[in-house]
Structure 1
Amino acid sequence: MKWPFSREKSAETRSSIENPTVPVSAENFMAFFGVQQASMPRVTIDTALTVPAVLAAVAFMSRTLAALPRHAYRDSKDGAKRVGGKLETVVNRAPNETMGSFAFWQWFWQQVFTGGRGLAYIERTPQGLDSLWPMDPAKTVVKRIGLRTVYQFEGRDYPAEDVIDVPFMLHSDGVKHYGPIQRATKAIQLAIAMNDYGSNFFAGGGVPPLALEGPLPAGADAMKRAQTDIKRSVDAAKNASDPIFPIPAGYKLAPVGIDPAKGQMVEARRFQVEEIARAWQLPPVFLQDLSRATFSNAEQQDLHLVKHLIGQWAKALEDEMNLKFFGRNNNGRWIEHALDGILRGDFVSRMNGYGVAIQNAIRTPDEIRALENLPSKGGEADKLHIQGATVPLGSQNVSQAAPPPANDNQENEAEAA
């Protein structure tokens, strides 16, 4: 008896050209002649970062979010008040004893924009919050026990209450996550393949793969000698910068494949930059793609960045920190990013904004000086100011009121004079 999946039956129905009853697929047919199917490069975080557009997206987003100031506040009878002490140190200066704020948060956001998840352990003491420590997402197992989420890291379980967790995108089960590199694998594969093709093409002196046409030499050894002779001639001409090289009589060389210009390689590589920008939701101008940028639309893309990208990720981290630091009943305490920090490098916009804030009684001059790390002047500089011409309707100052009309006697005296 022969089983349906036995080795013997498989041997009888094996595909072969000699057996006309067995269909041969295109892949097998090409394999019979030694032609292997082109395989796209495998994409990992390390290989993806060799693509300049991916590297630019990850570096730009992680550095921008790491550079944002973040502060702790609490409610008071006079409104929101900055909180100092250890909380301010952990949140904005140095999350732990070995890392500064920028280095820590840059590493955190790099994990979000590569593998798809940023994790940090909250160390507490009897006195309160003490430090934040990085947790490698690649070495952390996230699982749900009952209704509780637990993080297994280096042989220890951490409850969700002690872990800052910002995923790029959550799976439907609410535990696993998606990463941008994983989701954009095809686009990144194509970009890597074009990089490799371009480097190989120019490394070969711009000579594309060639096919030798003519009567084929008899025997495998003769074929190899002919290939070696042709290759030697091409290499010699390339090294000598000589556009002419000899080939055996009766033969000619024909290029194999499509040259980069006909394959629109430049346009295709530019399109891949746009595709990668979509994966990170970034305006292309921030990946140094200025092909369609103008003065006006670059400024609008800058606004888009803050409103629809940086602000959203800042909110995701704020929610995590507020919940994990202070609990659901936060007693009037919260963490908030200062998005004005993005304008720090734009001196004109910063000064104009400060002027509007002072003239409309939004900030005092001393508060503006503090933002610029300048010493306080006290006195009038510590008070809110408003332009004199801007007053509530119906309450115009006497000093600014129009003078009363002169009477007839005054007019006559003035004419006589």
Structure 2
Amino acid sequence: MNGGTGAYVDPQRASGLATAGACISLVSQALASVPLNLYRRTANGGRERATEHPLYGVLHDAPNGVMTAFEAREMLIANLLISGNAYAVLDWNARGQVVGLDPIDPGRVVVERLESGRLRYRVTDRNGSVRVYLQDEILHLRYRLARDGVMGLSPIQLARETISLALTQQDAAAGMAARGNRPSGALVFPQMIGREGKESALGKLKAKIEADTLTSNVLVLDGGVEWKSFSMTARDAEFLESRKLTNLDICRIWGVPPTVVGILDHGTYSNVEMESRALVVRCLAPVARRVEQAMNVALLPTGSRRTLFVEHDLAGLQRGDMKARYEGYRIGREWGWLSPNEIRGWENMPAIDGGDEYLSPLNMTPIDARVGGPTE
């Protein structure tokens, strides 16, 4: 696809931009690094990890024979953020449980809608053979639904003008670097020198500029010759500032705070900490929920979804520094909604005897329980 600036925009070239690549790597690696667990709802409204279920190991340890859970999830999320669609072939056992998950290249998948409304996937392998999968055999993640209600829209496609501008600026910067950042211009002679004189002057100038010496950028012009530059420097054209603004626009495409990907022009200690939290709330959490709901539908049969569900554990990214965490633990413990073992579990410490008890503040009692009944 072409942008308005004329630069060709394709997913691979666009994701090669430094800021775009940093955003994609940050989101995919951050979500792949947090626990993705299979939970079972308990009778008291709580939850517990369903570690005995085959799907737990697929999501938590290894989805197939050649990938770790981190690598597979990173690949799926990166494909989602680049092409807008991510696919994985599901392996079911005889008991109706997913025991394997194999991510595939989105470029090798063609999606068709059947008359029944269900989807069919044609996947071309590396040898050119085509295999057809039904909807129940494929995990399909979509960044944002297109108007057809089937395919996801690529963030790069949605922001192709911004990406095209960034690629054009990158090519211009590369061109200036290839010329040693030397501006173009003209040699102006006070009199006619003829064709041979022009060719001789240009040849000598080129040899001087391209000479690998310490004085190659020093010219001595005599005979009334003047150098007229007809190109602006990067500073005159505010080229560097425009590239900074474009990098900020790229961060907006994926909702990543600029300081998180190393753009620290306006970064301070306080806003860097706040933007790290904003990354979780406004960027990672929506992508995590998108993945969770797609997995709940694709990986769990309808009957199993009544008791089982898939969910990311983002608590570790939201707990802040040690002082803030411990202050939060203290409040939760003193006000009675946290037990010692719950706190120890979040800090990766083993449970202790008697650690499941909850405190109850003495000054917090129902009004009707007070002596003399309720007050007016």
> 1:165, CA displacement in angstroms?
1.5
Residue in 2 aligned with 1:6?
none
Instruction: State which drifts further: 297-306 or 54-63.
Output: 297-306
**Radius of gyration: which is bigger?**
1
Question: 2:95 aligned with 1:120, yes or no?
Answer: no
**Structure 1 residues 39-75: Cα deviation after superposition (integer angstroms, max 9, x where no partner):** 8443333322332111111111111111221222222
- Within 5 Å, which residues of 2 pair with 1:294-305? 294-305=268-279
- Within 5 Å, which residues of 2 pair with 1:3-402? 40-79=6-45, 80-85=47-52, 86-127=54-95, 128-146=97-115, 147-154=117-124, 155-214=130-189, 215=191, 217-219=193-195, 223-236=198-211, 239-241=213-215, 244-247=218-221, 249-329=223-303, 330-343=305-318, 346-378=321-353, 380-393=354-367, 395=369
- Are the equivalent residues in 2 in contact too, given 1:273–1:287 (CA < 8 A)? no
Amino acid at match of 2:113: R
**Structure 1 residues 220-258: Cα deviation after superposition (integer angstroms, max 9, x where no partner):** x6543321111223344x732466422363432211221
- In 2, Cα distance between equivalents of 1:349 and 1:102: 29
Count of residues paired in the alignment: 357
**CA 1:188–1:239 in 2, change beyond 3 Å: closer, same or farther?**
farther
> 1:320, CA displacement in angstroms?
0.9
Instruction: State which drifts further: 169-178 or 254-263.
Output: 169-178
> 1:297, CA displacement in angstroms?
3.4
- In 1, Cα distance between equivalents of 2:199 and 2:232: 25
**CA 1:153–1:360 in 2, change beyond 3 Å: closer, same or farther?**
farther
Q: Secondary structure at the match of 1:169?
A: coil
Give ranges in structure 1 of 5+ residues lacking alignment.
1-38, 398-417
- In 2, Cα distance between equivalents of 1:87 and 1:309: 26
**CA 1:342–1:216 in 2, change beyond 3 Å: closer, same or farther?**
farther
**CA 1:389–1:260 in 2, change beyond 3 Å: closer, same or farther?**
same
Q: Secondary structure at the match of 2:343?
A: helix
- In 1, Cα distance between equivalents of 2:58 and 2:336: 32
- Are the equivalent residues in 2 in contact too, given 1:358–1:386 (CA < 8 A)? no
> 1:181, CA displacement in angstroms?
2.0
TM-score (norm 2): 0.85
**CA 1:394–1:139 in 2, change beyond 3 Å: closer, same or farther?**
same
Of structures 1 and 2, the one scoring higher in RCO (CA 8 A, sep 6+) is: 2
